[in-house]
């Protein structure tokens, strides 16, 4: 494909998330949105009329005119749909998680390499304005704490809360912590569905870093916070209301009113407060634009299939720990 030529893109599945893909692709200059496919005829007609986009009656017909495809179908269908896309030599954007299990994910990655197709996984928090604003250089975490809470929504219950919510924080965690995992402990419970609705995990890395992550999809409020503790500093990332706040222990007297004096080893120490400016943007649009641009220049996407596989492997280990407890 020539650099700067438009990418002909289709969307498979136009439920809640797929509609957003259709809307955002229409705003990306390097993309020519050719249409979408959904097995629900009524949904297809509604989306086609509402967004003025062609609806295809057959998936193969859509793939025949595409360079790339967004797969926004239920997780249980990702594997079979993705294989069809790969065999049509189309590049794939697969909403998270990559597949239902690790074996399927590995097979898809192998197939994509054999067929020279790029794969990007929809770990959208990588494109969150707050994460963009974080200075990721020289981060040396000692402890990480994350909370991702949401009210109950039947739409997300095709998978458990680990694949629904926690996998976002798993991806962020392994992006920040450059170390192998030494130990995983986990607990969880089913409350309103037949799958795990609440979960907590403690992950210990060989570097000494420890992460404690909590997720719930039966909360009264929505919360998406990620806290990083380093020697002499603490960083708070708010993914919901994009914001980064950093507190640093320093010998220098602060220049703002947000800091205060502490006593450390009989010397004056100061807490310096920093709140980087956030350049707000639509994370999904940036994510899809990066996908299209990676195709133009034939480069590995920012969030590759292997990234999605690694996050899924850890998620499955967490699930196994919980299920082992449940049956003992």
- For residues 30-52, give the mean pLDDT: 97
pLDDT the model gives residue 229 = 98
What are the structural domain ranges in the chain?
A: 7-124+283-303, 127-279+315-326
Burial class (CB in 10 A: 0-12, 13-18, 19+), 9: buried
Strand order in the sheet with 119-122: 55-56, 31-37, 7-12, 68-71, 91-95, 119-122
CATH architecture of the domain formed by 7-124+283-303: 3-Layer(aba) Sandwich (3.40)
Compute the distance between CA of residue 198 and CA of residue 160 in angstroms, rounded to an integer.
9
Mean pLDDT of 233-244: 97
Domain 127-279+315-326 class in CATH: alpha beta
Task: Name every residue whose Cβ is closer than 8 Å to that of residue 35 and which is 6 or more positions away in sequence.
Answer: 10, 11, 53, 54, 55, 56, 62, 65
Q: Say what the pLDDT of residue 82 is.
A: 98
| Amino acid 4: pLDDT | 57
Share of the chain above pLDDT 90, in %: 85
Q: So what's the pLDDT on residue 297?
A: 94
What pTM does this model have? 0.94
C-alpha to C-alpha distance for 236 and 83, rounded to whole angstroms:
40
pLDDT at 258: 67
Q: 70-123: per-residue pLDDT in tens?
A: 999 999 999 999 999 999 999 999 999 999 999 999 999 999 999 999 999 999
pLDDT number for residue 265: 66
DSSP single-letter state for residue 46: H
**Distance (Å, whole) CA 149 – CA 214:** 8
pLDDT score of 155 more than 80: no
């Amino acid at each position: 494909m020539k650099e700067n030529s438009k990418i002909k893109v289709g969307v498979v599945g136009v439920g809640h998330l797929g509609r957003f893909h259709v809307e955002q692709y229409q705003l990306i200059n390097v993309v020519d949105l050719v249409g979408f496919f959904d097995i629900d005829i009524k949904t297809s007609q509604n989306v086609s009329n509402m967004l003025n986009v062609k609806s295809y009656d057959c998936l193969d017909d859509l793939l025949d005119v595409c360079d790339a495809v967004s797969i926004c179908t239920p997780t249980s269908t990702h594997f079979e749909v993705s294989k069809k896309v790969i065999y049509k030599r189309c590049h794939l954007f697969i909403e998270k998680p990559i597949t239902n299990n690790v074996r399927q994910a590995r097979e898809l990655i192998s197939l994509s390499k054999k067929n020279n197709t790029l794969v990007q996984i929809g770990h959208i928090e990588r494109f969150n304005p707050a994460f963009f604003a974080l200075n990721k250089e020289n981060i040396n975490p000692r402890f990480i704490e994350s909370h991702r809470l949401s009210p109950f929504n039947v739409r997300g219950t095709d998978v458990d809360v680990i694949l629904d919510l926690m996998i976002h924080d798993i991806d962020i965690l392994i992006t920040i912590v450059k170390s192998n995992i030494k130990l995983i402990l986990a607990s969880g419970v089913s409350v309103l569905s037949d799958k795990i609705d609440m979960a907590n995990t403690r992950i210990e890395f060989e570097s000494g870093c420890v992460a404690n992550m909590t997720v719930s999809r039966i909360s009264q409020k929505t919360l998406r916070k990620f806290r990083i503790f380093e020697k002499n500093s603490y960083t708070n990332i708010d993914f919901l209301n994009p914001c980064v706040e950093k507190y640093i222990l320093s010998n220098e007297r602060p220049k703002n009113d947000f800091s205060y004096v502490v006593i450390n080893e009989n010397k004056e120490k100061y807490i310096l407060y920093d709140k980087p400016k956030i350049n707000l943007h639509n994370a999904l649009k940036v994510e899809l634009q990066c996908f299209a641009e990676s195709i133009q220049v034939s480069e590995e996407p920012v969030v590759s299939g292997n990234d999605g596989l690694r996050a899924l492997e850890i998620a499955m280990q967490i699930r196994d720990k919980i299920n082992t407890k449940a049956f003992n």
